[in-house]
Amino acid sequence: MDEPLLGARNLRSPRGTFQRFQRSRDLLFRRLGPLVSKGLELEDLWRCEVDVVAADALLQEKLKERSQTLTTERGLPKLVRVLWSAYWPQMLPASLFKLAADMLRYVPAYLLSEFLDLMESHEDEAGALALLALLLPLATLAQAVLVNQYFWHSLRLGAIIRSALAAALFRQTHP
């Protein structure tokens, strides 16, 4: 009978999965242990530019404004419209980055088709081929940067909205 390579028998068993998890957990805490035991100073943390009190006040103001005009069948303002009216300056850059990234998604396919057309035409246009070959990875890089910016703005906006909604819920439950 053949011997399993590198403990392949353990890879399929629940105990082998647990042992792999335990090793990765030990490795993680071996690295994080000294950092956590040292403690964090205020200088170690990133400076948060979001004023939670101002975000909550803005949400409360827009809720009062919109409660007369935009209401559901229960008489409450629609949350999405209130959030848009309160935080549209933060939503707009994220939306524009996403739109640009989505539009840029089709550029590499277009550049590749132009590159192949030039190759098939057998014309000696080395400059145009070189330019298309250079633009292809640049378009992909630009798309990655735009998507990264979209995610950053979206996560930042999510933190702002989450803190404002949590403050509003706390105010409603603890008058």
Does 137 or 123 have the greater pLDDT score?
137
pLDDT at 65 over 60: yes
- What is the reported pLDDT for 95? 92
Question: Do 36 and 95 fall into the same domain?
Answer: no
Residues 61 and 38 in one domain: no
Q: What is the mean pLDDT of residues 32-46?
A: 64
Please say if the pLDDT value at position 71 is more than 50: yes
More confident residue, 157 or 73: 157
79: three-class secondary structure by DSSP: helix
Q: Are residues 39 and 69 in the same domain?
A: no
Winning range, highest mean pLDDT, from 36-40, 84-88, 97-101? 97-101
- Whether 78 and 155 map to the same domain: the answer is yes
78 dihedral zone (left: phi>0; alpha: psi -120 to 50; beta): beta
> 27 with 82, same domain?
no
Phi, psi of 94 (to 5 degrees): -65, -40
Quote the crossing angle between the two packed helices 52-69 and 126-173, to the nearest 10°: 80
Q: For residue 74, what pLDDT band results from cuts at 50, 70 and 90?
A: low
pLDDT of amino acid 145: 93
Please report the pLDDT score of residue 51 as a whole number: 63
Same domain, 111 and 141: yes
Name, of 60-64, 76-80, 107-111, 168-172, the range with top average pLDDT.
107-111
Range of the domain at 15: 5-44
Question: CB–CB of 102/94 below 8 Å?
Answer: no
Q: 59-62: which pairs have CB atoms within 8 A and are 24 or more residues apart?
A: 59/83, 59/86, 59/164, 59/165, 59/167, 59/168, 60/168, 61/86, 62/86
The yes-or-no verdict on residue 21 having pLDDT over 80 is no
Q: Find all residues with CB under 8 Å of 164, minimum gap 6, and list them.
A: 52, 55, 56, 58, 59, 86
**Which residues 6+ apart lie within 8 Å of 146 measured at CB?**
97, 98, 100, 101, 104
Average pLDDT, the chain: 75
Confidence at residue 5, expressed as pLDDT on a 0 to 100 scale: 47
Asked if residue 163 and residue 98 are part of one domain, the reply reads yes
Q: Kindly state the tokens that stand for 79.
A: 């949350």
Give buried/exposed letters for 40-57 (b at 16+ CB in 10 A, else e).
eeeeeeeeeeeeeeebbe
Say if residue 118 is in the same domain as residue 64.
yes
Please say if the pLDDT value at position 156 is more than 60: yes
The model's pTM is: 0.57
* Domain tally, the chain: 2
